[in-house]
Structure 1
């Protein structure tokens, strides 16, 4: 699965202020609302509903919040880099600053799972995480995901 194809440039935010997990998820929802044409409150509620089942904080400063949203034609993603890491109830109890959020239509079981697996695999790379933290432009972040996906597939 090509992560770069799921992630549109308008869905990449490199400086987002948040002082809590809830605010960070609001930032993700606001970014997704602009890209997906779905109300921010609907997206936020879906993300919070998923978090009730268990934290989407993977560890190493990374979270992969995800939700199913009616009205989508396929799996879509947004990436938000927080200015300051926030407590997120991650597996390793480290605060989160890199958030790669996935959204899928309710009927996309296998595609949604493949996307989650691909993003989780990519974000396990210490090199990619550091490059994402250092990237200065939206194009640089997008290129990292395109490159990482190509390298993983090879």
Structure 2
């Protein structure tokens, strides 16, 4: 299942230039605030609070930072392709260059977990992640993300 209901075209950052995990989370929170109308600071604080519980770097250069906000009305995401991989304290120790930040309502419960699982499943596809890493523009990244995995079974 593609990510069309989670990530909008204006929620794509094709060339994120950051050197640290914190600055990546700040930049992505800023974009999340712009596309949602929510406070970028509140988004950043929620994501950072979750990150303190354990890294959301899931391995293979991928991170899915996430948080919940009282004022958030629906689950949404921001996708960033980093110019250079950064340390994200990932489970496998590998630096991260693909980040999908998810924000959900406080009461999202199972829907939040389903969204996280869907993003992880899609970003686990090696063909899709190779294409994401090779794509340099927002519209191209959006097209890849919204077509879904390249090797999935129906």
> TM-score if structure 1 supplies the norm length?
0.94
Residue 22 of structure 1 corresponds to: 22
Indicate how the Cα distance of structure 1 residues 73 and 153 shifts in structure 2: closer, same or farther if over 3 A, else same. Answer: farther
- Call closer, same or farther: CA 1:69–1:149 in 2, change over 3 Å: farther
Q: How far apart, in 2, do the equivalents of 1:127 and 1:149 lie? A: 8
Judged with a 3 Å threshold, the aligned counterparts in structure 2 of structure 1 residues 151 and 60 are, in CA distance, closer, same or farther, namely: closer
Secondary structure of the residue that 1:5 maps to in structure 2?
coil
User: Are 2:126 and 1:134 aligned?
Assistant: no
Q: How many residues align?
A: 154
Q: Is the 8 A contact 2:2 2:148 kept in 1?
A: no
Greater Cα offset, 98-107 or 70-79 = 70-79
Extract unaligned runs of 5+ from structure 2: none
Counterpart of 1:121 in structure 2 is: 121
Shift of 1:80: 0.9
Deviation for aligned residue 1:136: 2.6
Equivalents in 1 of 2:68, 2:56: separation in Å? 14
- Deviation of 1:12 after TM superposition, in Å, equals 0.2
Post-superposition CA distance 1:5-30 (Å, at most 9, x none): 21011100011111111111111111
**Counterpart residue number, 1:58:** 58
- Asked whether the equivalents of residues 3 and 149 of structure 1 are also in contact (C-alpha less than 8 Å), the reply is no
Q: Pick the structure with more helix per residue.
A: 1
Report how far residue 142 of structure 1 moved: 1.4
Q: Which 5+ residue runs of structure 1 have no aligned equivalent?
A: none
Change (3 A) 1:104 1:151: farther
| 1:107 to 1:23, Cα distance in 2 relative to 1, 3 A | same
Contact map agreement 1:4 1:143 (CA 8 A) in 2: no
* 3-state DSSP of counterpart to 1:4: coil
Paired with 2:4 and 2:149, the residues of 1 have a C-alpha distance of 7
